[in-house]
Amino acid sequence: MFFVTFAQNKYGNNLTTTQNMANFNDYNFAGKKAIVRVDFNVPLNEEGKITDDTRIRGALPTLKKILADGGSLVVMSHMGKPKGKVNPKLSLSQIVDAVATALGTEVKFAPDCAKAADAAAALKPGEVLLLENLRFYPEEEGKPVGIDKEDPGYDAAKKEMKARQAEFAKTLASYADCYVNDAFGTAHRRHASTAVIADYFDDNNKMLGLLMEKEVTAIDNVLKNAQHPFTAIIGGSKVSSKLAVIKNLLDKVDNLIIGGGMGFTFFKAQGGKIGNSLHEDDLMPEALNVLAEAEKKGVHVQLSVATVAGREFSNDTEQRIFDTHNIEDGWEGMDASPASLALWKEIIMKSKTILWNGPVGVFEFENFAKGTGEIAKYVAEATKNGAYSLVGGGDSVAAVNKFGLADQVSYVSTGGGAMLEAIEGKTLPGVAAIKGE
Ligand code: AMP
């Protein structure tokens, strides 16, 4: 049976939807205080200066719309892994000036995120308060401290911490009239500020921010609304880290391109000689399973047919091309060969939906980056011809950036872990807390 629920937007129009949530663009923030979870986990150098402000820039459209409406902002984020303790090196006080410059307005700072009620209450329309690193409190992540999973008493400690987490989330919620989650990078975590806090707002006063909306739409475009042929390009180093992704995609894609270091586990499992190439013996049965499942489901799997191998794992090592099932001892497969790239190009160019995760070679070495660069070009070209392309999850993002093609694909995801979990088919707690899915 299929259920459709009806919701109304602020103009009283019926919206046919399977969710019942506020829409960020329609929400009028005038006179409201909004608490916004952002991902300001920016890299800092030794002097505490930001070395890459992409994440701050990513949140600006959401923050600026709230201010432009005449709302005030309580902004909250984590930085690094302080493990529930105050660590001055991970203090968000270090980024106050950068956030102020980016927003074009003064930013006040609350040095204790759990004791910011007065500062929040004093905010006037157009004013901004940044809270100190949420992870200075163990309640943010909600994991029991100082006790191992195997220890007796762990379950009780976990229960107690969950109660403390709920209290912490309630305190954060008390600072504002509405809640916006714009931190896709932590959407796969059920933390106080990313999910639990949503329990303290009614459906009309909690929503995804603009960055989150874009990420969720991009994922839906490939996982729920894909145009066919749909091709997934999965590369990277290890089968183990991509197995769940591949398994979930087998029900959705027409073509699966498997490249990079993980390919060698497949070749060895098929009885090939892979020299010194990266591989995981214990995953060989799984690799064969994937191929058998793909065949059953009518998915065309295109592995690499030949590899550019190196004598040793270095940029300047001698290079030689081998058939992927016949690599001599003393050689290690490190990049995709022209023969593999030609096969992959044909598939990519015919695709209407493309999902790319993971480089097809050791792209950090200039001399072994060619294959990954070519894939980036094919994906960009297919996009120009009308395909929808999503690049996401860790190193593939670095790869499209490296080759200057990020603006020539349909969407580059900002959330590595969250993106991967979404492609694995897992529900993201940060999204579910608001959309109720
Ligand atoms: P992942 O994080 O699993 O997406 O893996 C990305 C890493 O895979 C990058 O650091 C690449 O250098 C590495 N990689 C890709 N192909 C190979 C290969 N043939 N041999 C070793 N490492 C590889």
pLDDT value of residue 1: 29
Q: Which atom of ligand 1 is nearest to the CA of 363?
A: 12
Q: What lines the ligand 1 site, CB under 6 Å?
A: 236-238, 241, 260-261, 278, 333-334, 358-359, 361-364, 394-395
pLDDT value of residue 14: 36
| Helix residue spans in 148-256 (DSSP H) | 154-173, 210-223, 243-249
pLDDT value of residue 20: 57
- CA dist., res. 40 & res. 32, Å (int): 23
- Between the CA of 262 and the centroid of ligand 1 the distance, in Å, is 8
pTM of the model: 0.87
Q: In 3-state terms, what secondary structure has residue 129?
A: strand
Is the backbone of residue 70 left (phi > 0), alpha (psi -120 to 50) or beta? left
Confidence of residue 414 (pLDDT cuts 50, 70, 90): confident
Confidence of residue 28 (pLDDT cuts 50, 70, 90): very high
User: What phi and psi values does residue 145 have, to the nearest 5 degrees?
Assistant: -100, 140
Which residue from 233, 234, 237, 267 has its CB within 8 A of the most atoms of ligand 1, so it is best to mutate?
237
Q: Which atom of ligand 1 is nearest to the CA of 364?
A: 12
Name the CA dihedral angle for 192, 411, 225, 210, rounded to a multiple of 10 degrees: 40
Which residue bears the tokens 């909250």?
76
Segment 43-83, tens digit of pLDDT: 999 999 998 888 999 999 999 999 999 999 999 999 999 99
- CA dist., res. 360 & res. 237, Å (int): 9
Contact 31, 67 (CB under 8 A): no
Neighbours of 291 (CB within 10 A): 18
- CA dist., res. 219 & res. 184, Å (int): 12
Where is pLDDT greater, at 425 or 108?
108
**Stretch 179-206: mean pLDDT:** 96
Contact 425, 248 (CB under 8 A): yes
For the record, the structure tokens of 68 come out as 């432009």
- Helices 96-103, 54-69: axis angle to 10 degrees equals 50
The HSE-up count of residue 282 (CA atoms within 13 Å, CB side) is 2
- CA dist., res. 354 & res. 338, Å (int): 21
Segment 282-307, tens digit of pLDDT: 999 999 999 999 999 999 999 999 99
- CA dist., res. 180 & res. 63, Å (int): 10
For the record, the structure tokens of 302 come out as 């295109």
Contact 180, 71 (CB under 8 A): no
- Between the CA of 351 and the centroid of ligand 1 the distance, in Å, is 24
Q: Which atom of ligand 1 is nearest to the CA of 237?
A: 8
Which residue from 243, 335, 362, 391 has its CB within 8 A of the most atoms of ligand 1, so it is best to mutate?
362
Catalytic positions are: 55, 238, 394, 417
Q: In 3-state terms, what secondary structure has residue 246?
A: helix
Percent of the chain with pLDDT over 90: 85
- CA dist., res. 226 & res. 252, Å (int): 8
Which residue bears the tokens 């590899």?
307
* pLDDT > 50? residue 15: no
Segment 75-111, tens digit of pLDDT: 999 999 999 999 999 999 999 999 999 999 999 999 9
pLDDT value of residue 49: 92
* pLDDT > 90? residue 146: no
How do 206-208 and 178-181 pair as beta strands? parallel
Confidence of residue 18 (pLDDT cuts 50, 70, 90): very low
Segment 196-231, tens digit of pLDDT: 999 999 999 999 999 999 999 999 999 999 999 999
* pLDDT > 60? residue 8: no
For the record, the structure tokens of 64 come out as 């600026």
- CA dist., res. 390 & res. 367, Å (int): 26
